[in-house]
Structure 1
């Protein structure tokens, strides 16, 4: 599988990494400890079996990240679904065969921690309870290949 991911500007990247460190320093699950060299803050737009067409990625795109919430067992920063982001998602979903999620299922977010145990949920939310939305831009795009565990830059 291949992803289409948007990468934040330096300010948003630093904001997310600071939250990763706060969670880690509090002894909670965090992507700060994820050892893979491709680990970095990102917004996944779609996942598809292949990327075999040029994608419309009109970058930069305005972004507002926050507040903190859970999506299943993942602790995430919500990303405001602006008209620009929705248009990029719809265009990528339409251009790629078997892309997921569809427009009605997509919940834009940037992950902070995966597999947070139920017993850690309240503590994680308290730890990041002061986080307010932050504005910036998505300035670059990439694709992650789940088979080879490599990334490729995408034109935008």
Structure 2
């Protein structure tokens, strides 16, 4: 399976602190956390799309359609599980309609986008055993948080390069 190129929205410093606090809570509870991901580009983000390849037109469209809406406030309003036997734990984001429309339009113009539709979220943990989910939800709590999405980046895994758009 090819490595996926991605376009991602990044929170500002305060938003990163909110997400990293959740990552730390999970680690302190002894369950998987994104803090366990050692990749140099691992940082809180919201994936706009992932595809086997992106071209300069995709980047230009992303800058025109999405980057122009930034900064934008979103609300982390709930916890969801994605996956099967092992799950990803995510905070689901309420995003303004204008951002959702722009992202869906962008996604419709990029070839071979992974996954249908768009579920805006921030990943807190990956590959968690379902037996650990109750503990994760307990330590994360139930309070909403407001994040400001401040920038857009492109991840090129083939070249190992992150580019701000």
Consecutive aligned runs of 4 or more in structure 1 exceeding 4 Å deviation: none
2:155 is the counterpart of 1:144: yes
Write out per-residue CA displacement over residues 35-64 of structure 1, whole angstroms, 9 at most, x where no aligned residue: 111110000011122132112222112211
1:51 corresponds, among 51, 55, 60, to 55
2:100 corresponds, among 86, 105, 117, to 86
* Residues 104 and 118 in structure 2, CA contact (< 8 A), matched pair in contact too: no
* Residues 5 and 42 in structure 1, CA contact (< 8 A), matched pair in contact too: yes
- Unaligned regions of 5+ residues in structure 1, if any? none
- Where 1:116 maps in the other structure, the secondary structure is strand
Structure 1 residue aligned with 2:122: 110
- Unaligned regions of 5+ residues in structure 2, if any? none
Structure 1 residue aligned with 2:139: 127
Alignment of 1:63-102 (within 5 A): 63-72=74-83, 73-102=87-116
TM-score by length of 1: 0.88
**Per-residue deviation at 1:131?**
3.6
* Residues 61 and 84 in structure 1, CA contact (< 8 A), matched pair in contact too: no
Equivalenced residues, count: 151
Aligned residues: CA RMSD? 1.6
TM-score by length of 2: 0.83
* Residues 93 and 100 in structure 1, CA contact (< 8 A), matched pair in contact too: no
Q: Flag the structure with higher helix content.
A: 2
2:12 is the counterpart of 1:9: yes
Distance 2:25 2:99 in 1: 28
